[in-house]
Amino acid sequence: MFPLDLIALIILFGLVLSHGQRLSKIEKSLRSQPQPQPQPKQQAGISAPIKAASVPTVSINSAPVNPINSSPASSPIESPKVAEESSGRVLGGIGIAAVVIGIGFFLKYAFDNDWIGPVGRVMLGIIAGLALLAIGQGLRKKYVSYSDFLFGGGLAVLYLSVFSANSFFHLITPFMAGVFMFFVTALGFAISIANATPILAVISTLGGFFTPFLVGATENNMFSLFAYLTILNLGVLGISFFKKWPQLIAIALIGTVVNFGAWFGVYYKPDVLGPTLFFVFISFFIFLVSSVARAITGKSTADNLNYFLLGVNALWLACTGYIILNPQYSSVLGFAAVFVAIVFMFVAIVVNKFNPEDKALNIFLPGLAVVFLSVAVPLQFSGPWIAVAWFVEALVLYVIASFISNRGFQIMGVVVYVLGLINFFFWNFPDANSKNFTVFFNPYFVILVLAIAIAYVVAYMYRRFGSASVEVQKRGIVAFVIIANILTVYAFSSQIIFYHNAQLAILSEEYSKQSQNASLYNTGYAATSQHQDLYNTYQAERTSTQNSSNTYVSIFWALYAAVLTAIGFGMRMSSARRLGLALFIITAIKVVIDVWDLGQIYRIVSFIVFGVIALAASFIYAKYKDRLKAIV
């Protein structure tokens, strides 16, 4: 079997040869600029007006007059020039591959016959690689694609030579092999920058991240590996930024993750947690800057590659941090997530300041910040505190959105607020049968009051600072005002219901004790009679308590509907007025449904009180009908 490092080297060399054509296209698209078309010389004896009348001129941006003279881009038939260039590239790839393979066979033959010793073999490889680079540089001006093949072949031969010196002949140590391969990578970067050749930059980046595997080190060189990857990533960051080659960042991110994963799976120990986390965060920060640098300085719009880099980078940091910290330091996971969220928030604010036109990026970055901030809550808290933290987080996001005019933070604020409501209602529902329930002075009611207050504050911030448009501003105000009122009705209604449920729990406990005493001190007919009396009394009190609960809830709803209606008229708020009317209708339906189960006294009270409130509301409508028309 082939050793793993040799397989990696073969893959690298194969990439150089097989993807030359694709990488050449990348280079051509990055380097190409529209060139002005040469104008035909005016023939002697023909005046300009006659020429303009007889020979139609064709603008670069206009459609051709004659379909026969259409451009190659619009023609389904490949032009002869394009076909020749494509064929030339194919022949160039075949040729350089054949030359490298032929040289390899010759060297193998010479080695088998002991014509050349190990040192000479390595030196021949280095000389051959440098010669290919020199020839490629010399032919660069006239034969761009051909020189690219020579550059790629030269780098591949240099990598092979250093690899052979270390793995086959043991002439140098793995550390020195890594140093030499680093210089080969740097040489490739220098040539790619000097010649504006993204092909060579891609090859050099791949070779740089393959180097730790090619040197075949068997000991734990953690600091050397981390320093090497950091320097390499900084170099890739600089080249990709100034030369506008974002593909290098994607290769560097994947290469860093692969190298770190290979080291982590074999050598990581808890005693190197600090340096490991430091390297992970430094790498995360480098790739974060790489993903948004051009959006900040170049005013360019982020593309799918930028979003891919941001997402993968954040996911790698989250997974790595969780795996490292979870066994022994789970108590700080929440704080670590908050720290990362703050970093994303800062970057989002900076991007929004320098490039507010990129709407998608200004939503995506706050989204990443909110994801980490929201994940931090269940990692650090439990029980009702999760809902509290999410409500406060939603308010903070709206404050940030208001001061920096960022729509992304507003959207994330809505998401987090809804998460808080879901957590509150589905995971923190109180024990409705607890006899120790205290009205208003309980965590359930306090959290609801907090949610209501934040909803009103958010509605005010919509009104004070606005939003993306007037329509969005109005919808935001109405939505949070309605949420606040619904939560208010629910909060007070739940207190009434929970209080009476506590009374029912007390009645059940007393009935159970009295039944046990009756069985203990009475027998026969007397015990049966006493049990029946106790049961009848218990059922009557239970029914009375339930009727009282329904009656108080109906009265509260009717009063609250009247208050909403009055506020709607007084402050000219149509949403409050309509919400009051809706609550009136709901209360009426509830009274009709409940009345069949109520006692006679409760029926009288319910209908009279509801009727008086409805008449008062009707009087307000009649008195202020002109204002009503103005509002509507």
> Going along 321-459, which residue ranges are E strands?
none
Mean pLDDT of 529-546: 79
Give the whole-angstrom CA distance, residue 390 versus residue 420.
5
Percent of the chain with pLDDT over 90: 10
Q: SS in 3 state form for 256-316?
A: HHHHHHHHHHHHCCHHHHHHHHHHHHHHHHHHHHHHHHHHHHCCCCCCHHHHHHHHHHHHH
Longest dimension (CA), the chain: 139
Burial state string for 3-25 with b = 16 or more CB within 10 A and e = fewer than 16: eebbebbeebbebbbebbbebbe
Mean pLDDT of 173-194: 80
What SS3 class is residue 471?
helix
Give the whole-angstrom CA distance, residue 424 versus residue 446.
12
Q: pTM of the predicted model, to two decimals?
A: 0.60
Q: CA-CA distances (angstroms) from residue 491 to 39, 397, 440?
A: 81, 25, 9
Give the whole-angstrom CA distance, residue 159 versus residue 180.
9
- Judged by average pLDDT, the poorest of 204-213, 350-359, 391-400, 530-539 is 530-539
CB-based contact 231:211 (threshold 8 Å): no
Give the whole-angstrom CA distance, residue 79 versus residue 73.
9
615 token code pair = 């008449």
- Judged by average pLDDT, the poorest of 101-110, 155-164, 408-417, 510-519 is 101-110
R_g of the chain computed on alpha carbons: 39
- Comparing 467 with 421, the larger pLDDT belongs to 421
- What are the contacts of 566-569 at 24+ separation with CB within 8 A? 566/620, 568/631, 569/620, 569/624, 569/627, 569/628, 569/631
CB-based contact 221:206 (threshold 8 Å): no
Q: Report the half-sphere exposure of 300 (CA within 13 A, side-chain side).
A: 14
179 token code pair = 């140093």
518 token code pair = 């009756």
**Whether residue 425 has pLDDT greater than 70:** yes
Supply the DSSP symbol for 41. P
Residue at token pair 């969005």: 472
Summarised one tens digit per residue, pLDDT across range 91-134 is 666 666 676 667 667 656 666 776 667 777 778 778 887 887 88
Give the whole-angstrom CA distance, residue 557 versus residue 559.
6
Mean pLDDT of 52-64: 39
What SS3 class is residue 168?
coil
Q: Residue 288: its pLDDT value, please? A: 92
CA 401 to chain centre: 18
State the chain's mean pLDDT as an integer. 74
Summarised one tens digit per residue, pLDDT across range 568-592 is 766 666 666 677 777 767 776 666 5
Mean pLDDT of 384-388: 85
**Whether residue 359 has pLDDT greater than 60:** yes
Give the whole-angstrom CA distance, residue 259 versus residue 263.
6
Which amino acid, residue 36?
P
Measured CA angle at 358 (ends 339, 312), to 5 deg: 45
Summarised one tens digit per residue, pLDDT across range 266-315 is 889 888 999 999 999 999 999 999 888 877 876 677 888 888 889 899 99
- Comparing 58 with 533, the larger pLDDT belongs to 533
Measured CA angle at 509 (ends 506, 511), to 5 deg: 105
φ, ψ dihedrals at 326, nearest 5°? -60, -40
Measured CA angle at 570 (ends 564, 571), to 5 deg: 85
Most confident listed range (9-18, 211-220, 226-235) = 226-235
Helices 144-167 and 174-195: angle between axes, nearest 10 degrees: 170
- Comparing 361 with 155, the larger pLDDT belongs to 361
Most confident listed range (186-195, 304-313, 615-624) = 304-313
